Amino acid sequence: MKAALASAIADDKGSGGRSRGRPRPAAPDPVEAGVDYAAFRQRYGTLQQAMETEIGSLRGRLRAALAARASGMARLAMVDTVMERVLGAREQALLATVPGMLEAHFKRLRQGEEAALASAPAAGLAARVTPGAWLAVFQNDMQSVLRAELDIRFQPVEGLLAALRDS
């Protein structure tokens, strides 16, 4: 499942293609002057929701498998359930702030390129500034953040898997 989610993140270049049967909003054309962050926010939220749903489901199945093993493993499954309830809301609240931080990064990159393009002709650098390059940088950064979020969300699952292997 982690590989499938990582693949969905890697494939999320805005091609408008499908990932696991779910439609994704198309990304704006990188050289389009009026690129808006709203489409990226929507795609990020869609991927966050997919991670939350699929990892939560897997976590529940792993807890059930642990509980069926032995009483000690059942207690571990119960502790994981409590931890998910206690920390889950805080985790969700913190991860919900990420799209806003990415928006600020999006704006900084776009404004940086606009400033570079505006000053390029005066400095004789017009050939060195590639319009739209900032968007590729942003997309790579967004994917890196999504991969990091996937790793964070997957840590409890990895712990449950380790417990199952050791039992």
Provide the pLDDT for residue 95.
96
Q: Which of 11, 53, 9, 39 is nearest to 99 (CA)?
A: 39
At 19, the pLDDT band (50, 70, 90 cuts) reads: very low
Are 80 and 160 in contact by the 8 Å Cβ rule? The answer is yes
Provide the pLDDT for residue 18.
38
Claim: this prediction has a pTM higher than 0.95:
no
Please give the C-alpha separations between residue 42 and each of 18, 34, 45, 94, 130, in angstroms, as whole numbers: 15, 17, 5, 17, 27
> Is pLDDT at 82 greater than 60 in this prediction?
yes
> Is pLDDT at 104 greater than 60 in this prediction?
yes
3-state secondary structure of 103: helix
Provide the pLDDT for residue 75.
93
Mean model confidence pLDDT for the chain = 85
Provide the pLDDT for residue 161.
95
**Ranges of each domain in the chain:** 36-166
Specify which residues 23 forms β-bridges with.
18
The whole-number average pLDDT for the span 46-57 is 96
Stronger pLDDT, 131 or 49, i.e. the higher one: 49
